[in-house]
A and B are shown apart, each in its own frame.
Chain A
Amino acid sequence: MKLPNTPNVTRRSFVASVGAATVLPPATALLADSAEAAPLAAHHGATAPTEPGQSVYLFFNVAEARFIEAACERLIPADESGAGALAAGVPNYLDKQLGGAWGAGERLYRSGPWLPGTPSQGYQLPFTPAELFHTALRAINQDLDKGGTAFGDLSAQAQDTYLKGLEAGGQDLDGVPSAVFFDMLLRMTIEGFFSDPVYGGNRAMVAWRMIGFPGAYADYYEAIDQHGVKFERAPMSIGEDRHGHVHVQPAIPATL
């Protein structure tokens, strides 16, 4: 369990991290009107699990987790069609990936020199994904602290405005261009939403159910002849056993 050891930990977030049930970050209030609010109301983004099946954060500290949970939920919000990023476990996905081999720079060419490059040349920074997130999140939280309100405490509209500001670029997050951070956050949020639940996101295959994607077991030899007919089978995960329980296994390497 990652202890809050940064100087920016407030008393409030510290209390939240030890699971004080009476202290609920306002971010969860954003979900109060959604169908997913009830199961999530107890989830603080704290390092202590607050309901069965919730994962402990191993990469994000408390302040980082609060930003990530709120930000992901703005990127893919819960609404009348169903769960958003939070209920789907996207922050958990991010936590496990950034804390694992991918975060540490799996498959990334890491030698210098590092020159800015054109958009056609892609990513040219030395940061691994893990370093990039820690660096950017620290800078973001420091910036927000100056305004006195943590990201998780802002209104949804204010959160969107802030995210659009990051997206537009022009901010230097201690060496990480804000647009680069935003792009990686958005990509990984979509990954966490739509990837196989074996990685810890797309919980209960909620995102696949929303679009009707059947998942990892995929034999359509007969069904393909039924042009225009909906394929009515529950989605299936790489990690599920024959009782339908998904065994999460996030440390799958990016090689064969």
Chain B
Amino acid sequence: MSPNNTRGWKSGVGLVIFAAAYVAQAPLADAADTKSAVPPGAVPCQACHGGHGEGRTAVNAPRIAGQTAHYIEKQLRDFASGTRENLVMGGIAKSLSDADRAKVAAYYASLSVPGVAGGARPSAALAARGHELAVQGAEARRVQACNNCHGPEGGGAGLSAPYLAGQMASYLASQLKSWQQGTRRNDAGNLMASVATRLDDTDIAAVTAYYAGLGAAAP
């Protein structure tokens, strides 16, 4: 897809940021990406989500490498329909055909998730609270363990829930806020809204730091 293709793009700040980011970062293809050919739809993705799908905190674009194709496709559908509200992603998702979405999703699912540092180390108390919420939950909050659905050590559970381990803490926090505020409504059965609305800001800081601190899942 040519960088000058403005089909389906929303105007506004998002586009400006996107365009700037895109110009600054040329699409990469290196030895790590030989698992599948980079489909045309993936080229703009790399501008925000990184050359290896590792994500960029500056634009709150999450790590998507190694996420399941099923999950990525669903998010693209939901961005397009608006049940997951996002100025930039909404436009991008609408511009992709179903076939494009499938290709892009398959490509990112095929990437191995590179190991990275987990970011700033949380305090001991915060780390303990995050671990507790992740593996056990909190009765006082009526919140179950995140790993029940998000898999062992938050590594994802196939067709049900995405990985959290090694995801950016700021991104995870933004999503929990979105569930709380209702700007993200694509959780079937209100499963995430039920959880998010019972967490306070300390809980969110704790659990997101915990998962970010797990680094990425090695193959």
Contacts and interface: CB of A to CB of B under 8 A. Distances in A.
B159 A236 contact: no
B159 A233 contact: yes
A214 B161 CA distance: 14
Name the prevailing secondary structure of the A interface residues.
loop
B153 A217 contact: no
Contacts of B157: 217, 219, 233, 236
Contacts of B154: 242
A214 B153 CA distance: 18
Interface string A104-131: 0000000000000000000000000000
Contact of A223 (B148, B156, B159, B165): B159
A15 interface: no
Contacts of A233: 157-159
B25 to A, nearest CB: 30
B170 to A, nearest CB: 22
Contacts of B219: 243
B70 to A, nearest CB: 9
A221 B159 CA distance: 10
Interface residues of A, number: 16
Indicate the size class of the contact surface on chain B: 20 to 34
Given A217-B160, A219-B161, A223-B159, A242 B191 contact: no
A162 interface: no
Contacts of A220: 160
Contacts of A251: none
B189 A221 contact: yes
A91 to B, nearest CB: 27
Contacts of B156: 242
A221 B218 CA distance: 29
B152 A231 contact: no
A240 interface: yes
A14 B189 CA distance: 61
Contact of B158 (A221, A234, A241, A242): A234
Nearest to A225: B188
A240 B217 CA distance: 13
Interface string B175-219: 000000000000011010000000000000000000000100111
Given A243-B217, A243-B218, A219 B155 contact: no
Interface of B: 148-149, 151-161, 163, 165, 188-189, 191, 214, 217-219
26 contacts: A217-B151, A217-B158, A219-B148, A219-B149, A219-B157, A219-B160, A219-B161, A220-B160, A221-B160, A222-B160, A223-B160, A231-B159, A232-B159, A233-B158, A236-B152, A236-B158, A241-B153, A242-B151, A242-B153, A242-B154, A242-B155, A242-B163, A243-B155, A243-B217, A243-B218, A243-B219
